[in-house]
Chains A and B, each alone.
Chain A
């Protein structure tokens, strides 16, 4: 018989509304901090956001230019591969559609790259048509460094490691190339509703 720790219940787990929690997830109210390395502190004066790779004219914004772009307020559920989900998170950001507006590319894949060397790969079509943002505010406040500030990618329909913290640009690629966690054993696509956690799931 499997071992049970007498009287242990764990953190109180709330009942989530039906159909809202992907398989294997549980609901949290706090916002856990996950990181694979030290928190970078790039001053805004040196911060840029770039679109590179398969693009005729690479694009780059300074922080001021980036913040002058039209913004959207986004309310979404987020799902971390370590099994917590957080509902109704409120972000402010620039739509990736805005950043790619008018770009003519044959690329089908994107590698998002960040300060500190973190990368993650995402099909281009998962970043367009209102599915992804570069977010600079959370809950009405500037995004804290521990949560990816000054800006992080926000791709809420995929596991949250795809929403790269400290993002500095997108590389457009005609061929897929795994990012950090995808190289080290996590799923290439990462759909929480199909529970694509690990490579091969």
Chain B
């Protein structure tokens, strides 16, 4: 059972028409943009289930692109997002697909940006809430409701403790943490969902740890 607050019931403030097909889609786009490292040159959105069937009527396409452009779900420019992307020479494509046994409102982003190619899979799970399930082929699991660190590293002993020691030094409290890997000794990912905002100098220090390959920091998706 979820524990609701006042502004979960009276909120979010959002562009219509659907919290899951519009607000959640914009949040997915925004998180994908952050993971891709900001500026985006082109993107293919592979839409699954209800996203694929009803995206036009719900403005899911505009919302996804609005998020990819860095807009919040309450941004009134959201409805013009496709035009804005075109004006900025960002190539946007939508394709229906079957992503298998996933939530009905799921999208896979194939992004080419200034940091190269990046792939993100996420679902809009209701009420504007989202869940990211895959980053660059690596399984992950986070909601964006908390400040989140996604750290790619080599699967060697001691990396996790070095990172958590740094978080402790900076007085960052970890709400949830997960570690995922594809193969022993190869690529791994740790995801921290924290109670406190993460400062740039902490990211810099984590990047300096041996065996760390990449660090992505995502601010909480809640506005205000």
Are A and B interaction partners? no
